Structure 1
Amino acid sequence: MDTYDAVVVGGGPAGLQAALTLGRMHRSTLLLDSGEYRNAPVEHLQNFLTHDGRAPADFRAAARADLAAYSSVTVREARAGSATEEDGLFRVALEDGTSISGRALLLATGVRDTLPDKPGLAELFGTVAAHCPFCHGHELAGTHVAVLGNGPHAARLPLLLAPIADRVTVLADGGPIDPAAGDLLARAGVTVRPDPVTGFRRSDGGATVSFASGPDEEVGGVFVATTFAQSAPLAEQLGLELLPSGCVRVDELGRTSRPGVYAAGDLAHLAALPMPMPSVLTSAAAGLVAASSAVQALVVEDWGLVVAG
């Protein structure tokens, strides 16, 4: 079984940056990439200096080219099926039947989004439909933008989008809007459509929304609140502490509740935050921090250093 200083599981922004950081410190690193990514439906990534508007696949290809310059980094197209700790090493069993091990394990497997169950919405997600206004709001400037749902996001998202959109409508989908939120939306000039939504279909200007009663609504884009779950079972297998969001709890250095295991990207966040920020830039930054923390811990282990506190 091959043993590395660090095994990074996940080939998205967090995992790629973590592998680069480890490689630059000349730590033998294996990056496992399953080929599945949370932002796969997205045509362009946004709000990232020097990469604004770049296709996610192009971003990953450029990152892979960067990694190729470091002989200490090996990239393998493989899916991790399970992870265990044995004799101070983390053993990762791959779905192809092979196994590898690492002195440190860095999880960057991300989360999987679940959309509201509305016909046609999945086909629009990543283009006309999105969940992050910081990543996709500007591209809808000057259009009629809809926000689907009647939860807390139905008040917050319209106010974020108000300076961008020409018009904002909350699609309450047959549910009640909190009266205080309704008053706030009215003051902001946001329309609330109470009718149950029956489906979406792509149109020349964006999307057509259909309802159980009343006329269709033409919109330039739709924002939705997704629910999400861990994309891989590794955190559960390792017994890592999870937060109410379902994400792995990490500290400021990307350390999980299990020594030697680090997490970065959408699958993890600080307890002080309600959820991870769905951003390529913050995911990459988290990968750098977690990898740096892993390098420091390896030095302590190699040289028997005593860490104060």
Structure 2
Amino acid sequence: MSAPDPSTSPYDAVVIGGGPAGLQAALTLGRMHRRVLLLDSGEYRNARAEHLQNFVTRDGTPPAEFRAAARAELTAYSTVTVREAAATAVVPDGDGFRVELGAEPGADGPESLATRTVLLATGLRDTLPAIPGLDGLFGTVAAVCPYCHGHELSGKHVAVLGNGPHVARVAFLLERIASRLTVLADGGDLEPGIRAQLDDAGVAVRPEPVKELNRSATGATVSFAEGPSAEVGGVFVASEFAQRAPFAAQLGLRMQESGAVEVDPMGRTSVPGVFAAGDMAHTSATPMPLASVLVAAASGLLAATTADGELLARAHPAP
């Protein structure tokens, strides 16, 4: 049986997103000799993070180093192509899809690629509270996940910013790690039950509005609308997030209340032939996406094996 002409035949899969989920998906499909294209726009949710944490064998690895090592591994698979390019649209086309790329420097114009399946791994975009200085600290001194960034603040004064129901849980996750904890309520009212829990646990509460945060030698200086400033080693904050890319809306994918794409336990979306992995998607069994590099990579593997199985079923339908 002769192989299809690679210059004209559709890709088996186009993976959009060059983070952990997309890289793992491309590796998995490449190991099954699928013709796969990985598109990496160069934008990453963890771009500001200095290290990735809580990933066995990779604990403390800079994200750029992780991506470089993954790309180097992909070069061993001749059916995998990696391009530093941003997709602009994904459009159903017959039994597959067209993936549109923006015009690149030196090119005649936009490019359109055919693929049998699409695997989305485009991640999320964080929106932080509008406090001066917070955005500049995000990913280093300020973070969202105690499991990823808590240990590095061992023995330090740690602040939890916000006044919602999450603040007690985050504070209690950190109580074995931090030497001192303060909730920055930022002018909001904590629910009485939550305030009672914090008081019983000896967690301080600063109710004043936060004026600004500035990087300091120990972490950050928190200035308030009134009262003395506070020195902290780190700040945990709950961000609001949205899809980083437009493809879920373009394809009409079913969404979760969290703002993430709904997938089944195997990484399938509501549109046949479209799969999703990483923190842009989650199943109904979890209330929100899990912001973990290890989980993202695992979901990329799972979605890729599901896509491969679907392609296999198309080629060899059940009798």
Q: TM-score, normalised by structure 2?
A: 0.95
CA distance in 2 between partners of 1:115 and 1:3 (Å):
40
Q: 1:184-199 counterparts in 2 under 5 A? A: 184-199=197-212
Offset of residue 271 of structure 1: 1.1
- Contact 1:249 1:270 (8 Å CA) reproduced: yes
Offset of residue 13 of structure 1: 0.2
Deviations 1:200-227 (A, max 9, x none): 0011111000000000000000000000
2:268 maps to a residue whose letter is R
CA distance in 2 between partners of 1:2 and 1:19 (Å):
18
> Counterpart in 1 of 2:94?
87
Query: Structure 1 residue 53 and structure 2 residue 65: aligned?
Result: no
> Counterpart in 1 of 2:276?
263
CA distance in 2 between partners of 1:236 and 1:15 (Å):
19
Give 4+ residue runs of structure 1 displaced > 2 Å after superposition: none
Query: Structure 1 residue 40 and structure 2 residue 47: aligned?
Result: yes
Offset of residue 151 of structure 1: 0.5
> Counterpart in 2 of 1:105?
118
1:37 maps to a residue whose letter is Y
- Contact 1:199 1:211 (8 Å CA) reproduced: yes
CA distance in 2 between partners of 1:2 and 1:185 (Å):
61
The 10-residue stretch of structure 1 (296-305 or 8-17) with the greater mean CA deviation from structure 2? 296-305
Question: Cα RMSD between the aligned structures?
Answer: 0.8
CA distance in 1 between partners of 2:9 and 2:43 (Å):
24
CA distance in 2 between partners of 1:163 and 1:208 (Å):
23
Equivalent in 195, 220, 223 of residue 210 of structure 1? 223
1:236 maps to a residue whose letter is A
What is the DSSP-based 3-state SS (H/G/I as helix, E as strand, rest coil) of the residue aligned with 2:113?
A: strand
Equivalent in 178, 185, 207 of residue 165 of structure 1? 178
After superposition, the Cα gap between the structure-2 partners of 1:218 and 1:2, relative to the gap in structure 1 and judged at 3 Å, is: farther
CA distance in 1 between partners of 2:112 and 2:147 (Å):
40
Q: 1:114-263 counterparts in 2 under 5 A? A: 114-263=127-276
> Counterpart in 2 of 1:28?
35
For this pair of structures, how many residues does the alignment match?
A: 306
2:43 maps to a residue whose letter is E
- Contact 1:2 1:100 (8 Å CA) reproduced: no
Q: TM-score, normalised by structure 1?
A: 0.98
Structure 1 segments unaligned to the other structure (5+ residues): none
CA distance in 1 between partners of 2:117 and 2:249 (Å):
17
What is the DSSP-based 3-state SS (H/G/I as helix, E as strand, rest coil) of the residue aligned with 1:159?
A: helix
What is the DSSP-based 3-state SS (H/G/I as helix, E as strand, rest coil) of the residue aligned with 2:54?
A: coil
CA distance in 2 between partners of 1:248 and 1:207 (Å):
35
> Counterpart in 2 of 1:63?
70
